[in-house]
């Protein structure tokens, strides 16, 4: 399957006679064919015009039609077979077995959203029947449900070329809600993006949907700003760096019509090691932690960035075991050369801060590993020094963590309370630890979107109960998640229909409940 390197607007490749870019494989830094065209202002405008023009038809399609579309996308992605996996491997350096699993997650979440849409209760229908005899004022007939916002801009993420990119969770949940999507492809995997975009458009054709329901746009930061700024865009999903996310959020907020911007930005994902847990299983924790910080060469948004324990013999033993485990860990290929260079720069900056020591570095000989290499590193400091130096609070994207030694339970509590918002916080504890450190657990519930007990935060289950979003700056809106079925809520708004006749009501709000969905009727949940 030959790539064309063009933007895809309204289901068709569009030639843009402007700048091009060419990605280099992180495996060996060799340039990959073909060059890709950056979108022109005309292409961006046409993509949003197509999306806006088809919004009415797409949102009015039955839930069954939308479910079939999501399932057709999953089928078409699988039809790409090894071609997709090999392209993603060349562009991202990720191993084929990891990409096979990620493809499974991608099609799995598409099918999960299809099942949620087909069942239909996600619209949160609420009906308050009229009370004409109520005194002193009669109650009108009130019917409320969630409806889609309109065209959504989705930014592909570098670290998940399938599950968080063109057909990832943002796109799947937006389609499920009834919103057309314009994706800004990530320049670190443009060929993978083109292949998946073709699968989405094939699915749209199979399902008889207007092809403006999806477009793929290539380009740099200005292209991203232009998409967010466009007056026909109604919401944005973003996963990436804090600096880029905050800049785009500002664009979304400063428009004449501000729009919702859900950005997943950065997180330290602190891990707290409580005393009795270290006494009982320090080696197990050390090995698990090493696996968590090196998984995917440390390029997960839930990677533990800081690890906190209380000074004493058990913490000293754990630290020695962790050091030995990290020193035996292998380096790996990072997603692209820019990330590898940023990782090295961040390590130099962190190491130059007062009272920060180099604690563990992989001793596995990786001199023969070409391309964008990331070597596991652990730095160490005190809790007092961490609290004083906000530079240490910056996320380092790569196989790195900072080991922090607190003098006391009170200092550990102080550190927890000083933290900014996080995607996750992890506690390793026995039952005795839990009783002794209840204030710590309470503090962390105000800081993170997901609290992990006796596990590790890497590995995000795609399920109805998952929360992947936390207080700022981990995300721009802690009320929502980008993983799991609740992700659909980001692309909706409630509408209330008052005193509407039955024939004007959508099926979700009709008296006889033709869809059989769960609804709140006069304050009681019922089908």
Give catalytic residues, as residue numbers: 264, 301
Beta-carbon count within 10 A of 365 CB: 9
- Only one residue has tokens 């204030």, namely 439
Write down how long the chain is. 527
Sheet holding 7-9, edge to edge: 12-14, 7-9, 214-217, 181-184, 152-155, 235-239, 261-264
| Measured distance CA(461)–CA(483) in Å, rounded | 8
| Measured distance CA(205)–CA(40) in Å, rounded | 26
Strand, coil or helix: 253: helix
Counting Cα atoms < 13 Å in the Cβ hemisphere of 105 gives 21
Strand, coil or helix: 258: coil
| Measured distance CA(197)–CA(217) in Å, rounded | 10
SS3 per-residue string spanning 339-407: HHHHHHHHHHHHHCCCCCEEEEECCCCCCCCCCCEECCEEEEEEHHHHHHCHHHHCCCCCCEEEEEEEC
């Amino acid at each position: 399957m030959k790539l064309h390197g063009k933007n895809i607007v309204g289901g068709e490749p569009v030639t843009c006679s402007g700048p091009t870019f060419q990605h280099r494989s992180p495996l060996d830094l060799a340039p990959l064919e073909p060059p890709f065209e950056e979108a022109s202002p005309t292409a961006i405008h046409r993509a949003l015009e197509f999306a806006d023009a088809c919004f009415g038809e797409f949102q009015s399609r039955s839930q069954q039609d939308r479910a079939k579309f999501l399932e057709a996308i999953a089928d078409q992605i699988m039809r790409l077979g090894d071609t997709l996996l090999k392209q993603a491997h060349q562009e991202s350096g990720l191993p084929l077995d990891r990409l096979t699993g990620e493809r499974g997650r991608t099609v799995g979440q598409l099918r999960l959203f299809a099942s949620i849409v087909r069942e239909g209760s996600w619209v949160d229908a609420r009906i308050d029947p009229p009370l004409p005899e109520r005194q002193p004022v009669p109650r009108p007939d009130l019917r409320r449900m969630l409806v889609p916002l309109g065209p959504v801009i989705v930014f592909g993420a570098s670290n998940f070329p399938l599950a968080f990119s063109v057909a990832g969770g943002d796109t799947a949940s937006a389609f499920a809600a009834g919103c057309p999507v314009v994706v800004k492809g990530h320049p670190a995997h443009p060929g993978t993006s083109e292949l998946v975009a073709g699968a989405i458009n094939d699915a749209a054709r199979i399902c008889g949907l207007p092809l403006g329901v999806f477009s793929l746009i290539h380009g740099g930061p200005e292209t991203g700003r232009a998409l967010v700024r466009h007056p026909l865009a109604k919401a944005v999903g973003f996963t990436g760096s804090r600096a880029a996310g905050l800049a785009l959020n500002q664009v979304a907020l400063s428009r004449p019509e501000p729009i919702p911007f859900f950005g997943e930005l950065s997180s330290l994902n602190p891990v707290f090691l409580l005393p009795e847990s270290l006494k009982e299983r320090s080696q197990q924790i050390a090995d698990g932690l090493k696996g968590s910080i090196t998984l995917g060469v440390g390029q997960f948004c839930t990677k533990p960035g800081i690890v906190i324990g209380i000074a004493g013999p058990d913490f000293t033993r754990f630290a020695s075991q962790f050091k030995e485990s990290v020193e035996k860990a292998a380096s790996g290929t990072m997603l692209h050369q820019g990330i590898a260079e940023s990782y090295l720069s961040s390590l130099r900056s962190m190491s130059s801060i007062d009272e920060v020591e180099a604690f563990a570095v992989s001793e596995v000989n990786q001199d023969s590993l070409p391309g964008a290499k990331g070597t596991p590193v652990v730095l160490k400091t005190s809790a007092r020094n961490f609290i004083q130096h906000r530079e240490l609070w910056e996320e380092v994207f790569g196989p790195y963590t900072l080991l922090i030694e607190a003098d006391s339970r009170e200092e550990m509590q102080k550190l927890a309370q000083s933290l900014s918002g996080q995607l996750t916080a992890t506690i390793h504890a026995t039952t005795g630890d839990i009783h002794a450190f209840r204030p710590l657990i309470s503090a962390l519930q105000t800081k993170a979107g997901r609290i992990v007990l006796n596990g590790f935060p890497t590995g995000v289950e795609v399920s109805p109960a998952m929360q992947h979003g936390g207080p700022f700056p981990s995300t721009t809106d802690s009320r929502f998640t980008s993983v799991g079925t609740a992700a659909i809520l980001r692309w909706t708004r409630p509408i209330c229909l008052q005193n509407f006749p039955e024939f004007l009501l959508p099926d979700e709000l009709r008296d006889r409940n033709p869809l059989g969905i769960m609804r709140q009727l006069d304050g009681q949940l019922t089908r």
